[in-house]
Amino acid sequence: MSTPDFNLLLTLDAVLLEGSVARAAQRLHLSPSAMSRALARLRETTGDPLLVRAGRGLVPTPRALELRQQVSQLVQDAQAVLRPMQRLNLKQLVRTFTIRTREGFVENFGPDLIARVDKEAPGVRLCFIQKPNKESTSLRDGTVHLETGVVGKTTSPELRTQALFKDRFIGVVRMGHTLSKGKVTTARYAKGRHISVSRKGFDKGPIDESLKLLGLEREIVTIVGGFSTALSIARASDLIATVPERQTGNLRAGMHSFPLPIPTPDLTLSLLWHPRMDADPAHRWLRSLVLDICAANYLSSQDSSASARRT
């Protein structure tokens, strides 16, 4: 079956609207002869004369009257699809965006992000879901609109990424813990009892590799799947949690944090999305909002650190 000529819809819409071949030709900027040929093709395609002579004019057939509203709507819909994108009106935007992220990001950046969204686009709702793995299917099929994470070898190459900030691991203990007093040396850190954070339940990681190079080994008492869980346990025990500094700022309130006495690689937290969302203005707005919130959080933490040093 041959593909229909969709340009005939424009011709049919003009003919049915004007009820005159000459006026339809003027409407479409065609010559009368070209319009007559187009009408002949329409009659052949639809199997109906569409317009028949009545005195000096033309009148639509029952089939033409039946098609008039449907054809008009089809042409309007097609024009809307091909029309340049209109400027985004945030006050009238009504959408739900699903953001997949690990715990810690929502607790630390979520309140400010929600407040900004509520102020700029009150009809927008954010849905935060947990990130159990790095598969990209949910971004590809549109069930997830944005994701945060560390870009690595397993990250799908088709995804778009934007760095949010660099982070580093630090040690965290309850106030009054032995490591909350005095300098934390490698030996003191390794001697303590630790909480390991691993989504897959691994008991070894980069920190253990660094300690091994120094001939040391730490005691892993328990393994948990998230940073907030590790901090909750550390807050109520003598165990040591090792977590990303910037992603857990709010979660560590009232606890003692210290730089790790061993070298560990920094990590870069990034924003990830599928290229199908690149040009969507509402999605671009949300991406810029996340970037702004993370940047503002960094400046705020820098100010707090400077103030603490002065006092």
- pLDDT, residue 311, reads 41
Neighbours of 298 (CB within 10 A): 14
Q: Are 123 and 94 in contact (CB under 8 A)?
A: yes
Provide the whole-model pTM.
0.68
- pLDDT, residue 112, reads 94
Which residues, other chains included, contact 181 with Cβ-Cβ below 8 Å and sequence gap of 6+?
A: none
Tell me the two tokens of residue 157: 């190459």
Q: Which long-range contacts (CB under 8 A, 24 or more apart) does 67-74 make?
A: 67/12, 67/16, 68/16, 68/17, 71/9, 71/12, 71/13, 71/16, 72/13, 72/16, 72/17, 74/9, 74/13
CATH code at 90-153+278-310? 3.40.190.10
- pLDDT, residue 305, reads 47
- pLDDT, residue 46, reads 87
At 132-174, the pLDDT tens digits run 777 778 898 889 999 999 998 888 888 999 999 999 999 999 9
Helices 281-310, 105-120: axis angle to 10 degrees equals 120
The parts of the chain modelled with pLDDT lower than 50 are 303-311
Which residues, other chains included, contact 243 with Cβ-Cβ below 8 Å and sequence gap of 6+?
A: 104, 169, 170, 172, 197, 227, 230, 231, 251, 252
Angle value at C-alpha 202, between 223 and 158, nearest 5 degrees: 120
Residue type, 133: N
CATH code at 7-82? 1.10.10.10
- pLDDT, residue 55, reads 77
Q: Are 150 and 269 in contact (CB under 8 A)?
A: yes
Q: Same CATH topology for 90-153+278-310 and 169-265?
A: yes
Domain boundaries, the chain: 7-82, 90-153+278-310, 169-265
| 236 backbone dihedrals φ, ψ, rounded to 5° | -110, 15
- pLDDT, residue 308, reads 41
- pLDDT, residue 78, reads 78
Q: Are 94 and 124 in contact (CB under 8 A)?
A: yes
Which residues, other chains included, contact 165 with Cβ-Cβ below 8 Å and sequence gap of 6+?
A: 246, 268, 269, 294, 295, 298
Which residues, other chains included, contact 105 with Cβ-Cβ below 8 Å and sequence gap of 6+?
A: 148, 247, 269
Helix %, strand %, coil % for the chain, to 5?
Answer: 45, 20, 30
**Distinct helix (H) and strand (E) counts, the chain:** 10, 12
Rounded Cα gap, residues 28 and 14, in angstroms? 7
At 259-269, the pLDDT tens digits run 999 988 888 99
169-265, what's its fold? D-Maltodextrin-Binding Protein; domain 2 (3.40.190)
